[in-house]
Amino acid sequence: MIFRKKQLSFNDVQNTDIVLENAEILITQKCNFGCQHCLRGEPSNKTIKKEALDAFFNKIFYIGNLSIGGGEISLEPDLIRMITKSLKEGKILGVGRVNLTTNGTSVTDDFVDALRELVDYVKQGENDTTGFEPLLVGCSIDDFHLAEMQKRGITVDDIADNLAKIKKSIPEAYVDFRQECDVDIINTGRARELVGVRKVKPLLDMSVPVFVRPEKNRSYLGGVICMSVDGEIIPINIPFLDERTCSYGNIINEDFISILSKMRTKRVFHPTDLDKEYKKFIKQMSAPKRLWKKYDKEYGYKKNYIFTKSLEDAVESEK
């Protein structure tokens, strides 16, 4: 058996030993869209505190993949800069790569400049993911985002032009559309109303599997360790409103190891087994696909007619 189903002890692990394979930091609860499938629920004006970032980056040795999430992060160039500043000031050794999801509507020059500074930090650090792009930008253009764009008179061409600005300023970035929303919709947040069925587990049972893989005398934590704007360490993909009640602890005033020790853990010895376990976890939380058919009928337009210009075309015309 690869997995040993028992709670792991963190007794021998030091804060400075922690290497996170994946970390997600939610920097803002603001959003200019109101997508019907949004698992975060209703937005608010709350944004991340510097002391939460500082605490996080002082208690971790290295992050393989740092996801920056929201809300809509392109509304917050100053917060991107705050992350870069906190990374530089913190005890953390470095970040392997940065991963962002955006709706692509607010890609200002200021936002692109802030990303450029962050990417420069990533490239200067001790990077163990050589061969990968230092920045991944995914832009969601599924049916739900398209509906929001239509309401506001925004076209996919506009979005492609915006993404091209990132690619032009940061050629080493990987920028792409995410066109489909056909799998793994978490049945939570605003999406609960959309499917009309409440077959969700109680939120407190939705804990993220944490995987500990001893390596080079450090502790690798797989799954995703997620931090809210308030510094709460929380399960991924939960509504803003549930962050406080689902928190494992607050990074600002608690020891990271004691927070991690409250999570459900499994030991894994190979990354592919980690993937399998993660997919199982997502499936448990997802609404059955048949529930989405009704929605597809309401939005009867075809994506192929809307995608009039590819991202590559947009990058070419920006040159």
Beta-carbon contacts of 296 under 8 Å, excluding residues fewer than 6 positions away, are: 143
Cβ distance to ligand SF4 smaller for residue 60 or 195: 195
Residue located via tokens 């832009």: 139
Cβ distance to ligand SF4 smaller for residue 13 or 39: 39
Residue located via tokens 């499917």: 195
Shortest separation between residue 292's beta carbon and ligand SF4, angstroms: 15
Cα separation, 1 vs 125, in Å, equals 37
Cβ distance to ligand SF4 smaller for residue 54 or 76: 76
Which amino acid is located at 155 in the chain? T
Cβ distance to ligand SF4 smaller for residue 34 or 214: 34
Cα separation, 223 vs 35, in Å, equals 26
Contacts 24+ apart (CB under 8 A), 85-89: 86/50, 86/53, 86/54, 86/56, 86/57, 87/57, 87/121, 88/121, 89/54, 89/57
Which token pair is 99? Answer: 């991963």
Cβ distance to ligand SF4 smaller for residue 39 or 55: 39
Cβ distance to ligand SF4 smaller for residue 168 or 303: 303
Nearest Cα to 202, choosing from 234, 229, 242? Answer: 242
Cβ distance to ligand SF4 smaller for residue 144 or 281: 144
Shortest separation between residue 59's beta carbon and ligand SF4, angstroms: 27
Cβ distance to ligand SF4 smaller for residue 86 or 103: 103
Shortest separation between residue 148's beta carbon and ligand SF4, angstroms: 7
Shortest separation between residue 127's beta carbon and ligand SF4, angstroms: 29
Residues of this chain that bind ligand SF4 (CB under 6 A): 31, 33-35, 38, 40, 70-72, 103
Give the number of other CB atoms < 10 A from CB of residue 66. 23
Shortest separation between residue 99's beta carbon and ligand SF4, angstroms: 15
Which token pair is 80? Answer: 């991107």
Residue 35 in contact with residue 148, Cβ under 8 Å?
Answer: yes
Shortest separation between residue 218's beta carbon and ligand SF4, angstroms: 33
Shortest separation between residue 263's beta carbon and ligand SF4, angstroms: 25
Residue 68 in contact with residue 97, Cβ under 8 Å?
Answer: no
Cα separation, 43 vs 241, in Å, equals 9
Query: Please, what's the largest Cα pairwise distance for the chain?
Result: 58
Shortest separation between residue 238's beta carbon and ligand SF4, angstroms: 13
The torsion angles phi and psi of 42, rounded to 5 degrees, stand at -75, 140
